[in-house]
Amino acid sequence: MLRHTAFFMFSDGVTPEQQLIMLKGLAYMRYECPTVEHLDYGTDVFGGSRDMYSVKPYRRTPRWRGRRQGPPANFDVALHLDFIDKEGNDAYNDDAVHHEVAVYNESICVAELTARVDWFYDGGFLTRPGHIRHCEMFVWDDDVDEAAREHALDAVRRLEAAPEVESVVIGRNVGTLTTDFDWILDVQVPDEQACKQLLGSDLYAGVMGDVAPLTKHEWTARMSHVMRGL
C-alpha cells in the first residue's frame, strides 16, 4: 500500500469554525476522490501549535537556531491517504476535489511548513479507529551515510518494546517533491494516556537521543491524533 501523509500547521488566529471546515474537507476526499482506498485524519491531541502562538514571534527560538531544542511545536492536523499504487496517487493529485480542498487548506495554514512523505507499507490498512497514532517525520542531516541511517532506524525499532505500543512502522520517502521529508515513524498506542507515557519515557528519550544528531532535528514534524479510518 502506498500512503501519502501530510501534516499541516494552522496560521495564527485561525478560528474553530475554519478548522472544522478544513476537517470536513479532508474527510470528503475519501468519498469524492475515486483512487483513495482509505483515509485517516485528525487533530493533535496535545494542542498542536497553540502553545507556540502564545509566545510572541520575536521571543521564540527560530528554527535556524533550534537544533538542540528541536521543533517549536507539534503540527495541528494530520492527513493519511492510502492508494493501491503510484498511479492512484498521481490521479488523486490531479483530482479537482483535491485541488479545491487544498486551496482552502492553504488559506488557513502556513503552507511552506506543510510536511509530506509518500511511503509504502505492507499488510492491511494501517489504522486502528479510536486509538492514537503518533507520527514523526524526519530530514536526514547533510552527509549522513547509509550506515548511520540504519543506526537511526534500528534505534526507533526499540520503541516496539515500550508498554502498550501496538505497532511501530517506518517508511522511507518515495515521493519526488523537493519539499518532502526523508522518512516517517508511525507508532500506535491504545489511548492518549499511553501516548503521554511513551513520549515521557526514558526509552523514548534514549531513542530520540540517537536519532536527533543524525537529522535536522529542528525540522522534525510531530503529531499525535485519534485515528478515524474511513
Which residue is associated with the grid cell 520503541?
159
Q: Are 172 and 119 in contact (CB under 8 A)?
A: yes
- Which class is 2-226 in CATH? alpha beta
**What values do phi and psi take at 177, rounded to 5?**
-70, 140
**Distances in Å between the alpha carbon of 183 and those of 55, 120, 186, 202, 203?**
30, 11, 10, 23, 21
Contacts of 57 (CB under 8 A, 6+ apart): none
List the one residue out of 181, 170, 225, 171 whose CA is nearest residue 41.
225
Which residue is associated with the grid cell 526499540?
158
CA distance 167 to 188: 5
pLDDT range class, residue 228, cuts 50, 70, 90: very high
Q: What is the pLDDT of residues 91-115, one digit of tens each?
A: 999 999 999 999 999 999 999 999 9
The structural domains of the chain, with segments of one domain joined by +, span 2-226
CA distance 96 to 59: 41
pLDDT range class, residue 61, cuts 50, 70, 90: confident
Retrieve residue 201's grid coordinates.
Answer: 519515557
Neighbouring C-alpha atoms within 13 Å toward the C-beta of 62? 3
DSSP 49-66: THHHHTS-GGGSPPGGG-
pLDDT range class, residue 201, cuts 50, 70, 90: very high
- pTM for the full model? 0.95
pLDDT at 57 over 90: no
Q: What is the pLDDT of residue 171?
A: 97
Q: Are 108 and 22 in contact (CB under 8 A)?
A: yes
Q: What is the pLDDT of residue 68?
A: 80
